[in-house]
Each structure stands twice: as structure tokens, then as C-alpha cells.
Amino acid sequence: MTHNSISVQELAQTIDHTLLKPTLTLTELQNLCEEAAQYQFKTVCIPPTWVKEAVSFLTGTKVGTITVVGFPLGYSACRAKALEAEIAIEQGAAEIDMVLNISFLKNQRLQEMGEDVRTVKRACQNIPLKVILETAYLTEIEKVEAARICERAGADFIKTSTGFATGVKVTGATLADIELLRKNLKTTTQIKASGGVKDFNSAVAFLKAGANRLGTSSGVQILNGLEASGSY
């Protein structure tokens, strides 16, 4: 089956099947991992306290485990973020998604913001690092400035959103965000669109706009041709 020049199988390999709610249960985690294995998603993205369990559930599959660092507000101490990353990798995390220190960005403490990313990247070593900008809170100028600093600091991916932004109309990725980032980053720096991916057509549109990876809790619905109703 193909749609807009991409097959269901190809689309599945761009999806980080995500469940980051604070009330996550072990049963829900197991179900998420089983879905990821069944639909052959690229990864699952889950809270750091559940990395060992997710890795165990996914043993024997090709699905990787992602976890988050400094989540969801980004203003944890730099060393704390690095330690979170180290522990997660020791437990089997294949990728790390860290939240940018948005407060540093807003106060133009850009050197410290970049060092925050560099420190976590050193902790990750060869493990891919995504940096979440939380685009909902940023102007276009801030998005570009932050993305370029993160790129220079060693980020492998620039990611749009946590899904936990409040007080804003749009909390997830937009096509305009992806196009803006793609235009201003090196071709070797990848982009993850997270939030706002609700159906097959929107998923394909984000990829065509320049995203390499999609973060969504609605991957099953998307691959089955349904429109998701969730917030992420």
C-alpha cells in the first residue's frame, strides 16, 4: 500500500511511537511496545523511569527506545540533564530527546544554552541527540537562532515540541516550522516534527516539508487511515 509516493511501511519507519503522560502504567507501556513491534515503528518514546522495561518488552524486535531529558520544561541543571542521559543510555536507550533551556534563550544567555546542549551531547557520545526547541513559545528569529546554536553544539536532530506547552494556541509542529528549520539548517542535521501529526496526509506533508522523523501518539491511527483526536 502506498500513499502520496510513500508506503505505509516507509512511513512507519519515520514514527517515534510516543507515550509521555505522567499517569503512564506498565500495562500501557507494554501495549505501546507491542503496537510498535506490530506496526514496525522506528522507536518508542517513553519516560526515563521506564527505559529498562521498554527495552525488555522490545527485545527481539528492531524497534529502538527513546527517552527524554530535562522534560518537559528544559530548565534542569546542565549536569542533571547529562546524568539523566547517561543513566538512560546505560539502561538501553537508543536515542535521547532533551529539552532546550528556553529561559536561557529568552534571556539571550546563548553561550550557556549552547553549553547545555554540548554537555548532554558529550554524555550521549555516539547516541543520537535531539534537542526540543518548544517552538510554540518562540518567534521565528528565536527558532532559527536556537536551532543553529544547537546544531553547532552537536545536536543530531532539532525537534519542534514536547506536547506539553500551555497557554498557546498551537502546541505542536506546524508545516511552517519544519520549512523554516529545513531552510536554515545543514542538510546533515535532521528534523523531528512532534505533535500535530494527525493523519496519513499530514504525516506525508511534514516529511515533504523537510522532517525526517515524526513524534506522535497516534501512529496506529495514522497508518490505518484514521484521523487522530489526541493532543499529541
* Residue 188 burial by Cβ neighbours in a 10 Å radius (0-12, 13-18, 19+): exposed
97 carries an active-site annotation:
yes
* Residue 182 burial by Cβ neighbours in a 10 Å radius (0-12, 13-18, 19+): middle
- Find the Cα–Cα–Cα–Cα dihedral 202, 204, 209, 214, rounded to 10°: 80
- Find the Cα–Cα–Cα–Cα dihedral 103, 133, 80, 95, rounded to 10°: 180
Which of 97, 116, 156, 177 is catalytic? The answer is 97
CB 147 within 8 A of CB 113: no
The dihedral region occupied by 134, where left means phi > 0, alpha psi between -120 and 50, and beta the remainder, is left
Which of 81, 143, 159, 198 is catalytic? The answer is 159
Q: How far is CA 142 from CA 39, 54, 103, 136, 222, in A?
A: 36, 35, 12, 11, 31
For residue 218, give the DSSP letter: -
Which of 42, 81, 121, 192 is catalytic? The answer is 192
183 carries an active-site annotation:
no
169 carries an active-site annotation:
no
Write the DSSP string, 163-184.
S---SSS--S--HHHHHHHHHH
Nine-digit cell string for 89: 543510555
Chain centroid to Cα 166, Å, comes to 18
Q: Which residues are catalytic?
A: 97, 159, 192
